């Protein structure tokens, strides 16, 4: 994602629909129905385009104990909420 760790954590409450989540270093645990969503983040080197520097945050999402409809619903909301300036 094209954001910093602090920007991502600021967006996260809305992206997870206001559900309380726990941050343990680079691991974020989000309870969801009968399971949980594990989000791992890692700040990587900025992407350079000419004189422009863009932050890059590697984000991986793992679902534990969630069926396909619950995974799709989570990702649909998360994706729409975190989309910034897409075209």
The domain that holds 35 is classified in CATH as 3.30.1370
Is residue 87 predicted with pLDDT exceeding 50? no
**Whole domain around residue 30: which residue ranges?**
5-82
Q: What per-residue confidence (pLDDT) applies to 85?
A: 53
Q: Is the dihedral of CA 38, 63, 66, 9 positive or negative?
A: positive
Structure tokens at 11: 């967006």
Going by pLDDT thresholds of 50, 70 and 90, the confidence category of residue 82 is confident
Is 61 within the bounds of a domain? yes
Is 87 within the bounds of a domain? no
Is residue 84 predicted with pLDDT exceeding 90? no
- Rounded to two decimals, the pTM is 0.88
pLDDT single digits (tens) 6-57 = 999 999 999 999 999 999 999 999 999 889 999 999 999 999 999 999 999 9
Q: What per-residue confidence (pLDDT) applies to 83?
A: 83
Is 57 within the bounds of a domain? yes
Number of domains within the chain: 1
- The Cα 19–Cα 17 span in angstroms is 6
Is 31 within the bounds of a domain? yes
């Amino acid at each position: 994602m094209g954001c910093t760790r602090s920007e991502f954590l600021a967006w996260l409450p809305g992206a997870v629909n206001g559900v309380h989540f726990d941050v343990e270093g680079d691991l974020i645990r989000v309870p969801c129905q009968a399971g949980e969503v594990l989000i791992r983040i890692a700040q990587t080197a900025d992407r350079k385009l000419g004189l422009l520097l863009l932050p890059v945050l590697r984000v991986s999402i793992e679902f534990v104990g969630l069926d396909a409809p619950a995974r799709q619903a989570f990702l649909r909301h998360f994706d729409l909420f975190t989309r910034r300036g897409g075209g």
